[in-house]
Amino acid sequence: MLQPIIHYGIHFGLPLFVAYFFFKSHWKMAYLIMIAGMLIDLDHLLATPIFSPGRCSINFHPLHTYYAIAVYFGFLFFKKTRILGLGLVIHILADSVDCLMM
């Protein structure tokens, strides 16, 4: 019962916090860009079955592999990709917490 609250709290609440407190002048756009990081969940459509409640996304789905995660962290070092990188890293954090709670 607590797991979905924590999972979606990180997915939606943490980007809002980061956007509001670190990108004050354009926090709404920063929030939308970070939320767009959830599009990496489209790789779940490649799995069979598409949804499995006991499956950890990390290193299972193509856009959740350790190589992809390294690229997302790399985005943090460049100003043009930093906000998207934050969204992607926060997404991976949410999925990692989810895996730990299983």
The tens digit of pLDDT for each residue in 4-29 reads 899 999 999 999 999 999 999 999 99
The domain of 68 spans 2-101
Of residues 3 and 59, which shows the higher confidence score?
Answer: 59
Residue keyed to tokens 């949804």: 51
Total domains in the chain come to 1
pTM of the model: 0.94
pLDDT value for 66:
98
The two structure tokens encoding residue 85: 């990188």
Q: Given a cut of 90, is residue 1 above it in pLDDT? A: no
For 98, the enclosing helix (H) or strand (E) is helix 82-101
- Whole-number Å distance between alpha carbons of 13 and 64: 21
